[in-house]
Amino acid sequence: MNKKNILITGGAGFLGSYLCKRHLDAGHHVICLDNLQTGNINNIKPFMDNPEFEFVEQDVIDPFDAPVDQIFNFACPASPPLYQADPIHTFRTSVEGIMNMVKLAKKYNARLMQASTSEVYGDPAMSPQVESYWGNVNPIGIRSCYDEGKRSAETLMMDYHRTENLDIKIVRIFNTYGPSMNHDDGRVVSNFVVQALRGEDITIYGSGNQSRSFCFVEDLVDVIISMMNSEDFIGPVNIGNPGEFTMLELADKVIAKTGSKSKKVFMDLPQDDPTQRCPDISLASEKLGWEPKVKLDEGLDKTIAYFDSWLQAND
């Protein structure tokens, strides 16, 4: 094995902590840079005694220097209520964060992956979404700090690639869920599962007829690592599970699986909430030979089991 120095920004978060574990298990040296804004120190506690793991508590906006071979730039809150809580900082995280990472990658001739998002398609006018679709994004709304920050990061990556031959990878991640999401993260799967297990009302925003496509975390981490180690393919590439469900269907599944007595309650739909989202994953399948294996039912069972034991220990 060719041991690498791997920087994972946002490494204490939901996806980042899976990336830390996979790379440590594979024998690499991992630097996790995280300001713990939405991440959880418990996600990385199991690695703290590993001599191959370094935790740097720092904002990605601030300069950082260490010799690295690969950079996974995952620092950024992903939950809408959390990224909207400090929108200016969210925008700076994407824009100034990627600027720092591009400079670091250039200095050490490292490969840089950006965690982009299905949000670059905004409220899509076509479905499923293909990578060639330019999207339908409100540049001045409450989601724009996230959407436009991520779009800008893609722009900077592509310009550095074209002008300086920077070794880049762009993955557009669709809604991903699974064990070790924060119980109060605010995203729909964790909200519904925790509400159902506690017997609280299930909060449906709007009519509940808006759709999302949910990818189980282990499937997503597989393709992220395969993308990082692929050659002659920079992306952008959609990664996610094309199984599409309405929020009402999701709520009904969670209620049935938990046997909960929770009732569905309807609340205001947040501004600019996309009406549909479904990835076309033909490109990932063609270039990386990947497709997700875990269906929503199986992934929900694992996620419910995780939150059930978490709530028993912490509630």
Q: By the 8 A CB rule, do 134 and 75 touch? A: no
Cis peptide before 236 (omega within 30 of 0): yes
> Helix and strand tally (H, E) in the chain?
10, 13
Q: Based on the shown chain and the rule CB under 6 A, indicate whether residue 269 belongs to the binding site for ligand NAD.
A: no
Q: Based on the shown chain and the rule CB under 6 A, indicate whether residue 150 belongs to the binding site for ligand UDP.
A: no
Pairing status of strand 29-34 against strand 53-57 = parallel
Interacting partner of 124 out of ligand UDP, ligand NAD, none (Cβ under 5 to 8 A depending on kind) = none
Choices 6-14, 20-28, 130-138, 202-210; region in contact with ligand UDP by CB under 6 A: 202-210
Of residues 40, 176, 210, 262, which one binds ligand UDP by CB under 6 A? 210
Interacting partner of 230 out of ligand NAD, ligand UDP, none (Cβ under 5 to 8 A depending on kind) = none
Q: Report the nearest approach of ligand NAD to the CB of residue 139 (Å).
A: 18
Q: Report the nearest approach of ligand NAD to the CB of residue 94 (Å).
A: 8
SS3 state at 243: coil
- Residue 253 CA, distance from chain mean position: 23
Q: Based on the shown chain and the rule CB under 6 A, indicate whether residue 75 belongs to the binding site for ligand NAD.
A: yes
Q: Based on the shown chain and the rule CB under 6 A, indicate whether residue 255 belongs to the binding site for ligand UDP.
A: no
Q: Based on the shown chain and the rule CB under 6 A, indicate whether residue 30 belongs to the binding site for ligand NAD.
A: no
Q: Which residue has the tokens 């199991």?
A: 46
- Which of residues 10 and 208 has its CB atom nearest to ligand NAD in the complex? 10
**Catalytic annotation on 146?**
yes
Interacting partner of 122 out of ligand UDP, ligand NAD, none (Cβ under 5 to 8 A depending on kind) = none
Of residues 5, 176, 191, 276, which one binds ligand NAD by CB under 6 A? 176
Q: Which of 83, 146, 160, 177 is catalytic?
A: 146
- Which of residues 53 and 83 has its CB atom nearest to ligand UDP in the complex? 83
- Which of residues 78 and 196 has its CB atom nearest to ligand NAD in the complex? 78
Q: Pick the closest to residue 204 from 154, 256, 273 (CA basis).
A: 273
Q: By the 8 A CB rule, do 233 and 294 touch? A: no
Q: Based on the shown chain and the rule CB under 6 A, indicate whether residue 129 belongs to the binding site for ligand NAD.
A: no
Q: Based on the shown chain and the rule CB under 6 A, indicate whether residue 175 belongs to the binding site for ligand NAD.
A: yes
Q: By the 8 A CB rule, do 279 and 220 touch? A: no
SS3 state at 271: coil
Q: By the 8 A CB rule, do 157 and 168 touch? A: yes
Structure tokens that stand for 165 in this block? 């031959």
Task: Point out which residues pair with 30 in neighbouring strands.
Answer: 6, 53
Task: Point out which residues pair with 172 in neighbouring strands.
Answer: 116, 238
Q: Based on the shown chain and the rule CB under 6 A, indicate whether residue 282 belongs to the binding site for ligand UDP.
A: no
Q: Based on the shown chain and the rule CB under 6 A, indicate whether residue 212 belongs to the binding site for ligand UDP.
A: yes
Within a 10 A sphere around the Cβ of 292, how many other Cβ atoms? 23
What residue ranges bind ligand UDP (CB under 6 A)?
79-80, 175, 187-188, 191, 203-205, 210, 212, 247, 270, 273
